[in-house]
Chains A and B, each alone.
Chain A
Amino acid sequence: MLSTFLSHQWKDFWRSRNKAGSIAAQILLGFFMLYFLVAAIGLGFGMSYLIQEFFPSKNVIVIFNGFILYYFLFDLGIRTQMQELPTLSIIPYLHLNISKKTIVNFLNIKSLFSFFNLLPLFIFIPFSIIKIGTTYGAITGIMYIVSILSLTVFNNYLVLYLKRKSINNIAYFGLIIGFVAVFAGLDYYNIVSVRAASNFIFMTVVKYPFLGLAFTLAAGIIFFINSIYLRTNLYTEELSTKDDKKVSTDYAFLNRYGKVGELAALELKLILRHKRSRGSIFMGFAFLAYGFIFYKAPMIAKDEFGKMLFAALFMTGITIISYGQFMFAWQSTHFDGLLVNKIDFKNFIKAKFLLFTISCTIITLLASFYGFMSYKLLLMHLAAYLYNIGFATVIVLYFATMNYKRLDLTKGASFNWQGVGATQWILGLPFILVPVFIYLPFGILNKPYWGLAAIAIFGLITLLMRNFWINLLVKRFEKQRYKIAEGFRE
C-alpha cells in the first residue's frame, strides 16, 4: 500500500501542471539543490581542515561537537518557516477502504522526503566516519551517526507536530525564532553556552557510546506523539492550519488617496491574506541582513561604492523586486473581475506605484541602521532608494505586462517556482545594470560621490516623470490585457 502511495506521489510530482511549463525553473532549482548538497558534502569532508583553519589553536573535535546542537537549533528555526505539511495529498484516500494507520504511516514517511533531512547527513556523517571513527573507534563513530540521524528525525517530527498543533503560524514562528535567537545570544555573550553544552553531551557519547541511543529514544517519542495526534485528528480541515474568524478591515491611511487608495488597500489585503505574498515580505526583511555580508569596513573607508551598490539596491528595493516580479499575476485569480468592473486602468497602475513607494520607503528607513557603520552607507541607500522608486518601479511594471503566468497564492514562497517564467529572469538585468552603468564612469574616474549623485539624480528625474510612465504603462496594459487575461485563465 505504501509503495502505491509513494508511486502516486512520484507521478503527482512529475505530472503536475505547472511543472511541465517551467522546466528551466526546475533545472535551476535542481542546480541550487545540487549546489547546497555539494557545499554540504564539501563541508562534511573538509570539516577537519576548515576547523583547523578557522580555530587554529582549538581541538577539532571539541569545535565539531559544539557545532552539532547549534546546527539543529537553527535547523529548527528554518524548518518552522520552510517545511511544508504533507496533508492535502491524503484527501483522495480518506474515503477509501484504507486503514487510518496506513494513511498515518504514509504521512509520516512522506514527510521524511525533505531537503532538510538530507542536508545534515552530508554535513555531519563524513566527519563522524573520518575523524570520530578513527580517533575513538568504530562503535563511537556509528553512535555519532545514529545520534545525527535521530536528531534529524527528531527535528522533522517536532516541527510537523508543532505546526499541526499551532493555531497562529506567524506568532508561533516568531516564538521559535526568538527562542533560537535567545540561545544564540546567550551563547555569544558566554552566559549559557550552547556549544559547551553540545560538546559536553557528545563527549559523554564518546565515553559511553550507547548513550547516543537517548537521541533515538527522543526521536521515537516525538514520532509516536505525532502519529497518535494524526490518528485521532485525521480530518483535513483540522490538519491544515486552523482558521481564525475573518474580519473586514479598512486601511484609513490609504483613504486619502481616493480611488487609487481603494485599489492599493485591496492589494494590501491580497498581500497580507495569502501565504505566498506574506512569505515574500518576510524574505524582504531577511534581506536587510545583506549589508552585513557585503558592506566591509575597508570598502567603506576607500569609498568603493561600486562593490556595495548591488547590496544597497537589493536591500532598499527588495519589495519592488520580490513583489513586482510577479506583478499582475498576484491578481490572476480575479483578473477577469478587475477588467469587467469599472476600474480606470490609470488608477490601477497608480495604485501599484503607491504601494511600491510606501513599501520601499519603509524598508529604506529600516535599513538606515547601517548608518551606525558609516554615514556614507546612508548616502548610498538614498541614491538606491531614489533609483528604486523612480525607475525600478517602471521596469518592474513594464515587465509585468509580459507576464502571462497564473500564480498560485496558497502555497508558500520559499522554493516555490510556480508561475516563474522568462520575465522573472530577464527582469533583474535592467534593474541592476542601469545603476551600475551610471556609476561606472565615475567609479573609473575615482569620483565615487559623483557617481552616487548621478544615480540619485537619475532616480529623481524618472520620479518626476512618473505621469509620463503611467501613461506609457496604461497604453501598454491596454494592448496586452487580452493576452494577460487569457494566460491567467489557464
Chain B
Amino acid sequence: MLEIKQLKKSYGGRTVVDIKSLNIRAGETVGLVGNNGAGKTTMFRMLLDLIRPDSGEVLSKDQNVANNDHWKDYTASYLDEGFLIDYLTPEEYFIFIGGLHHLSVADVADYLKQYDEFFNGEILNRGKYIRDFSKGNQNKVGIAAALMQKPELLVLDEPFANLDPTTQIRLKTLIKSLKATHRLTTLISSHDLNHVTDVCDRIILLEKGLVIKDFHTDENTLKELEAYFAE
C-alpha cells in the first residue's frame, strides 16, 4: 500500500525525519509512537504531500504522491484543525467534502446517521460554525469527514487527544470494524500507549526522525513500550 524510501527532511540543519525504508501493507493498522519532536507529524505531512522531502520518496500504490493526485482518491486524513474549514457549519463542511467525492446532499445526510452515536448529539444542528466548537468536537468533525470519504488509507494524527473517554472507545471500535469490513489501512500517531497497542497490529517507534523499533503487537507490547519511554 505504502512504501517509503530514503525519506529525509531537515530544518535548519536538524534532521527531523530520516527513514531508510518502510513498507505498509494493505489492511494493516499501524501506530506511530514517539516523544514530541520525533517526526511523526512531519512524516504524515510528507505522506500527504504537504511538505516536500529533502530527498527520497513516498509511494502510494507504487505512485509517488508528489507527482500526481491519484492517492487523493482513496486517502483520507485528519491531522489538525488546519484541515477543517472552520467558518462553515459542520453540515456545510460534510456536504462540501462529500461533494468532492461525488456524494449528494442526501447521501451525506444518510451517511451521517450512523454517526449519531459517535457525535453524541453535539455536532449536527447546533447552529454553530466549526470554529465555535470545542477542540474535541472539532476532532470528531474532522475524523467523521475523513471516514465519510470511504478511504482505503486513513491517516490520523493523535486522534484520541481531546476526545472524551466514551468517544475514544467508540473510535477504537470504529477503526477495528472498518479494518475487518473494508480492509482499511490505518496510520495513527498517538501519545496514548494503551490505545495504540489496543487498536494497532503494528507499532513503529520513532526517535529524532529515525525508526527505532518496528514490531507486531502482542501481549507484551505495552510493557515494552512503557519500559522504553520510562528510560
Contacts and interface: CB of A to CB of B under 8 A. Distances in A.
B51 A341 contact: no
A343 B101 CA distance: 10
A266 B86 CA distance: 11
A187 interface: no
23 contacts: A243-B132, A246-B127, A246-B128, A248-B88, A248-B89, A248-B92, A266-B88, A273-B129, A334-B83, A334-B84, A335-B82, A337-B82, A337-B83, A337-B84, A339-B49, A340-B50, A340-B75, A340-B83, A342-B69, A342-B73, A482-B50, A482-B51, A489-B82
B91 interface: yes
Given A339-B49, A340-B50, A340-B77, 9 more contacts: A245-B127, A246-B89, A248-B89, A266-B88, A270-B85, A334-B84, A336-B79, A342-B100, A342-B101
A245 B50 CA distance: 35
A485 interface: yes
Count chain A CB atoms within 10 A of each CB in B51, B83, B97 and give the residue with the most: B83
Contact of A482 (B52, B80, B81): B52
A486 interface: yes
Given A262-B99, A482-B52, A486-B51, A340 B72 contact: yes
A266 to B, nearest CB: 6
Contacts of A341: 72, 97, 100
A262 B96 contact: yes
A333 B82 contact: yes
A183 B129 CA distance: 39
A21 to B, nearest CB: 17
A103 to B, nearest CB: 25
Contact of B87 (A262, A273, A337): A273
A274 B131 CA distance: 11
Interface in B87-116: 87-89, 91-92, 95-97, 99-101
Interface residues of A, number: 29
User: Nearest 7 A-B pairs (CB), nearest first?
Assistant: A245-B127, A337-B83, A273-B87, A482-B52, A336-B82, A342-B72, A342-B100
Interface in A294-345: 333-337, 339-344
Interface of A: 243, 245-249, 259, 262, 266, 269-270, 273-274, 333-337, 339-344, 409, 482, 485-486, 489
A266 B82 contact: no
Given A334-B82, A341-B100, A342-B72, A246 B77 contact: no
Nearest to A488: B82
A74 to B, nearest CB: 33
Contacts of A245: 127
B156 interface: no
A341 B83 CA distance: 9
A482 to B, nearest CB: 4
A21 B51 CA distance: 23
Contacts of B97: 341
A248 B96 CA distance: 12
A266 B128 CA distance: 16
A269 B83 contact: no
B48 interface: yes
Contacts of B82: 333-337, 489
Nearest to B77: A340
Q: For the side of the interface on B, what is the size category?
A: 20 to 34
A106 B44 CA distance: 46
A269 B92 CA distance: 10
Nearest to B51: A482
A158 B83 CA distance: 41
B133 to A, nearest CB: 11
Count chain B CB atoms within 10 A of each CB in A262, A269, A274, A335 and give the residue with the most: A269
Nearest to A485: B50
A99 B80 CA distance: 38
A246 B90 CA distance: 11
Contacts of A339: 48-50
Contacts of B128: 246
A442 to B, nearest CB: 46
Contacts of A270: 85, 87
A243 B80 CA distance: 25
Count chain B CB atoms within 10 A of each CB in A245, A247, A248, A482 and give the residue with the most: A248
A253 B146 CA distance: 29
A201 B7 CA distance: 78
Contacts of A489: 82
Contacts of B101: 342
Count chain B CB atoms within 10 A of each CB in A247, A249, A266, A342 and give the residue with the most: A342
B72 to A, nearest CB: 4
A334 B48 contact: no
B99 A247 contact: no
Nearest to B47: A340
Count chain B CB atoms within 10 A of each CB in A246, A259, A335, A489 and give the residue with the most: A246
Nearest to A249: B92
A113 B76 CA distance: 49
Contacts of B80: 336
A245 B88 CA distance: 13
Contacts of A482: 50-52
A344 to B, nearest CB: 8
B210 to A, nearest CB: 23
B101 to A, nearest CB: 7
Nearest to A263: B96
Given A245-B127, A246-B89, A340-B48, A266 B96 contact: yes
A334 B86 contact: yes
Nearest to A337: B83
B85 A337 contact: yes
A334 B91 CA distance: 17
Nearest to A272: B87
A34 B48 CA distance: 48
